[in-house]
Amino acid sequence: MSSMQSNSSANVTFVRPATFFINGFSNVPHAKYYYVFLSLVYVVTVLGNSFIMCIIYLARRLHTAKYIAVFHLALSDLCGSSALIPKVIDTFLFEHQVISFEACLANMFFVYHFMNLQSLTLLVLAYDRLVAICFPLQYHAIVTKPAMFLIIGVMWMLSVTFFSVLVSLLNRLSLCRSNVINSYFCDHFLIYRLACNDNSINILIGKISFGLLICTPLILIIITYFCISVALLKIAHGADRIKAIKTCTSHLILVTIGYLPIISNNIASITTLFHPNTRLINNSLTQTIPPMLNPIIYTLKTEEVMQSIKELYKRRKMNNVVERRMKCNWKNSKQKIQV
């Protein structure tokens, strides 16, 4: 608390810490091995998401509304991991656990903002599958590139506005209890609990945040797949039904990986007495593993992506053959001129 700056007014001392101390993984035994693991996760995340974005950019057959959303998911995964993992490694591996008040709020904003975009993009992809299966004849008229860019633009505006408000409301709190945050990043829930004055508005917006981030998209995705299931039962031919189901498998796996660990952690925290270290590691894995797996799943489970990779490989191979032939022809012509 030595770094706290105080000023008094109307018999109330308003305290804002100049710095916070991030204390999350300090008591975890052999934590350095975990930081090495997180480093590997981050490398795979960067390579995987960069790869899928490059494939979508280079392959003309993937220049569709659906793959604009897939590209956005990869971008959100990459940015979300970049906002979290390097900071965690720097904080604990290199023992830079003191963070300024402003830097802490900035870190909180970017972590929550990109988590929210990941969740909302999964909802957009569910909407894409709903239209494709329930309204196949109108699909290309409804799910267009301009419509997808508009949806993503609205997502960004809503997310930036909401989390700017969530973060800025922390400025009204007198954080006099402590400046130690027992987490691996600047967790909104743990920071507003440090307040000595009324934090009811922060509690409310924290609950709204959980609803916006997790509950609402998941409920809408469940409703979407209920509608898809009803539509699939109406398909007469079994082969057509299986083909339609296959178009949803990669998205269903992403939804399961994205939401199941978060829901399990929240239920377990209510029903079971978790050791703080176990809770922290579970939460950090929940935030870092899905962005690593998403591009791998989309590459392996989506036929269009695999086909595009093969086409790009063949095209590159063909270009190399043409280049070699041109070089050989150039050398032969040069030799004939010299003769």
- Predicted local distance difference test score (pLDDT) of residue 262: 84
Residue 177 phi, psi dihedral angles, 5° rounding? -70, -45
C-beta separation of 251 from 125 below 8 A: yes
The one-letter code for the residue type at 97 is Q
Helix (H) or strand (E) holding 104: helix 101-134
Q: What is the pLDDT of residue 337?
A: 62
Mean pLDDT, rounded, for 253-280: 82
Most confident of 145-154, 210-219, 258-267: 145-154
Q: Residue 228's closest CA among 133, 125, 139?
A: 133
Question: What confidence score (pLDDT) does residue 339 get?
Answer: 55
| Predicted TM-score (pTM) of this structure | 0.88
Note the pLDDT tens digit of each residue in 115-128.
Answer: 999 999 999 999 99
The pLDDT value given to residue 30: 84
